[in-house]
Structure 1
Amino acid sequence: MPDSPEDQILRLLFSSRRIAGSTTDPCAQQPCDECFAIHRPKVERFMAQGVPLHFVIPAFPAKSPNRKKVLGTLPDLGERLSLEFLQSFCDYVCHHYEPGAKITICSDGHVFSDLVGVDDQDVTAYRAELELLLRAIGSDSINTYGLENAFQSTDYTEQREQLTNRYARPVEEIRERALQDPAARSIFGGIHRFLFEDQFAVSEGRSRNTVREEAKLRAYRVVQRSDAWSALVEAFFPEALRLSIHPQAAHSQKIGIHMMRTRDNWLTPWHGVALDEGDGVRLVKREEAERLGATLVMRGGRPSHFIAPPASHKSRLLLQEAVR
């Protein structure tokens, strides 16, 4: 029996899933009935109303402060390609359901900027450039939502306090959950790794163990705020399907997705750079692109992405075809 339109849409989405432990989970290769069953009711509700499916994704916070990973503080080709992927997904949904889909990017940069070493002004500038990119690609299916949209205060410190007071759980509970729940432990481990890498890069003269322990304490608070933001998003958009840029268990209420090709299950455009390899673009850390001898490309007077050195006759032929 062919898939229903609902399952066709979910299968399309699952083709880009980030699954925690995907090397061993059979659902990574072939979604099972339970994979569909968790999300199908929400899809059906939108279709019964004849309105676009609505997805929310906490993402696009700000560039990492670690210049071994990224090109600067503003969006580049990585963000542009990721936004185009999200828009294309909405377009493809129309094949199966004419009203299509909408995606709200719940930008979480101000939620934990003080914990990850990013200035609030850089977060604001990043989001403003993101809006310009959405207009540049002609997106009509994506909108953004941020901490400043949720609270009346114009002070980001006060907004973070309101978020924590209303939606956060105690850090002790976050720590205990990470110890007991493999999925929560995976999320904590990924965030801890990012924080350690970013802090160690700017901690000259300090030991790895010292920086690692400090990063662990901050990681619990980042998870606490991230969970609080997720709870706020759930309260503001209760009917929406939940997407995530973190790897998720196959049968989670959230669907982890890759917006770009990458070999790192955790890498995102704001923790990496776009590397054009001739036959496609891959997301890598900046230091990896430079180690390969890739060439930096400037667009509009700003760093955009890297081009990998021609490694084979095939890549040169592809380039020749591209310029004909």
Structure 2
Amino acid sequence: MSDSPADQILRLLFASRRTSGGPADLCNGKPCERCFAQHRPKVEHFMARGVPLHFVLPAFPAKSANRNKVLGPLPDLAERLSLEFLQSFCDYVRHYYEPGARITVCSDGHVFADLVGVADQDVTDYRTELELLLRAIGADAINTYGLGDAFHSGGHDEQRARLTGRYAQPVADIRARVVEDAAARSLFSGIHRFLFEDQLVRSEGRSRNSVREKTKSRAYQVIQRSDAWSSLVEEYFPEALRLSIHPQDSHSHKIGIHMMRTRDNWLTPWHGVALDDGEGIRLVKRHEAEQLGATLVRRRNRPSHFIAPHVMTSRSPLLVEEAV
């Protein structure tokens, strides 16, 4: 395999790759030539023009409405560290290619807010805070793009209708794909799990089976709109390399990425919290941190992250004070 600057950049990115394969997938730890060949032409296209590489990442929609998972509706340390990771990647690219890279975060919160039980105002507030956070950390290589940027007029419901009317596939086609394709089935299972967990805590008096069936139907709709948004993003940014926060097949045209350390291959900053476990910061669900007896840290009068109990007792008071 060549050791060109393009491959070096991809190798840097693949170090944080989020793949859908199990231990039998040899590309999990060691990307093969096919892994590189899938994305190398796009990297070389930007390099030939002498401009920054452009990546698009549909992500950072809004915090989950499930307070067993998250601290609240606004970004916290999990988002901050994830954005810092993305900015750092763009910075590191300059070691191999001086113009570096830039990332467009295609925030998809308004795309399916009504399906996941999040108010559109919460999505708007989340993105506003995200923009402030980007400025606070000096993330000059990252910009955002949302449904309102694609459809400049009309309310959120109208914009969602225009998105699905122009770009969406029939739900029946998505159901068939889930039955026939293992990768589609894995995606459906992951999204259904998120929806089921989030809806269950708000469905007192309803059976788990009834909640499961309701969220199964919504999972197909979420995938339908997510695919529609993906198609729109591809139309608007046809040259960009595609990143994803979902696990992807090693040879997919999308590159799944982990922005934070986590033991859950599906967990994202907007479905979890940041926990200082003494070895660094990792992503967990809120109830998992609380079960550990972790201490909640507040910053700017808002909940920020957790510190594991053994970290609190092993660090000096000065270090703990600096951490909070």
TM-score (norm 2): 0.96
- Structure 1 residue 24 displacement after superposition: 2.3
Specify every segment of 5 or more residues in structure 2 that has no aligned partner in the other structure, as ranges: none
Q: Which residue of 1 aligns with 2:36?
A: 36
Q: Which residue of 1 aligns with 2:128?
A: 128
Distance 2:73 2:151 in 1: 25
Count of aligned pairs between the two proteins: 322
Q: Which residue of 2 aligns with 1:188?
A: 188
Summarize the Cα distance change of 1:145–1:322 in structure 2 as closer, same or farther, 3 Å threshold.
same
Distance 1:92 1:263 in 2: 25
Judge conservation of contact 2:296–2:305 (CA < 8 Å) in 1: yes
State the 4+ residue runs in structure 1 displaced beyond 4 angstroms: 317-323
What amino acid is the match of 1:83? L
What amino acid is the match of 2:228? A
Distance 1:21 1:308 in 2: 31
Deviation digits for residues 254-294 of structure 1, max 9, x if unmatched?
Answer: 00000000000000000000001122000000000000000
Judge conservation of contact 2:21–2:250 (CA < 8 Å) in 1: no
Q: Which residue of 1 aligns with 2:140?
A: 140
Deviation digits for residues 62-84 of structure 1, max 9, x if unmatched?
Answer: 00000000000000000000000
- Structure 1 residue 36 displacement after superposition: 0.1
Distance 1:35 1:143 in 2: 27
Matches within 5 A, 1:261-300: 261-300=261-300
Judge conservation of contact 1:111–1:225 (CA < 8 Å) in 2: yes
Specify every segment of 5 or more residues in structure 1 that has no aligned partner in the other structure, as ranges: none
Q: Which residue of 1 aligns with 2:315?
A: 316
What amino acid is the match of 1:39? H
Matches within 5 A, 1:53-92: 53-92=53-92
Distance 2:188 2:51 in 1: 36
Distance 2:60 2:295 in 1: 25
Deviation digits for residues 281-308 of structure 1, max 9, x if unmatched?
Answer: 0000000000000000000000000000
Deviation digits for residues 39-86 of structure 1, max 9, x if unmatched?
Answer: 000000000000000000000000000000000000000000000000
Distance 2:308 2:3 in 1: 40
Judge conservation of contact 2:113–2:119 (CA < 8 Å) in 1: yes
Q: Which residue of 2 aligns with 1:158?
A: 158
Q: Which residue of 2 aligns with 1:106?
A: 106
Q: Which residue of 2 aligns with 1:117?
A: 117
| SS of corresponding position for 2:315 | helix
Judge conservation of contact 2:111–2:147 (CA < 8 Å) in 1: yes
Judge conservation of contact 1:275–1:307 (CA < 8 Å) in 2: yes
Judge conservation of contact 1:19–1:248 (CA < 8 Å) in 2: yes
Matched, 1:94 2:98: no
Deviation digits for residues 236-260 of structure 1, max 9, x if unmatched?
Answer: 0000000000000000000000000
| SS of corresponding position for 2:27 | helix
Distance 1:84 1:23 in 2: 30
Q: Which residue of 2 aligns with 1:13?
A: 13
TM-score (norm 1): 0.96
Judge conservation of contact 1:278–1:318 (CA < 8 Å) in 2: no
- Structure 1 residue 168 displacement after superposition: 0.2
Judge conservation of contact 2:312–2:320 (CA < 8 Å) in 1: no
CA RMSD of the aligned region, Å?
1.7
Judge conservation of contact 2:294–2:306 (CA < 8 Å) in 1: yes
| SS of corresponding position for 1:131 | helix
Matches within 5 A, 1:212-223: 212-223=212-223
What amino acid is the match of 1:63? K
- Structure 1 residue 152 displacement after superposition: 2.5
Distance 2:74 2:321 in 1: 28
Distance 2:320 2:22 in 1: 36
Matched, 1:26 2:26: yes
Deviation digits for residues 182-203 of structure 1, max 9, x if unmatched?
Answer: 0011111100000000000111
| SS of corresponding position for 1:105 | strand
Q: Which residue of 1 aligns with 2:255?
A: 255
| SS of corresponding position for 2:38 | helix
Q: Which residue of 1 aligns with 2:229?
A: 229
Distance 2:98 2:42 in 1: 17
What amino acid is the match of 1:113? A
Matched, 1:50 2:47: no
Distance 2:143 2:202 in 1: 34
- Structure 1 residue 3 displacement after superposition: 1.2
- Structure 1 residue 322 displacement after superposition: 9.7
Judge conservation of contact 2:278–2:311 (CA < 8 Å) in 1: no
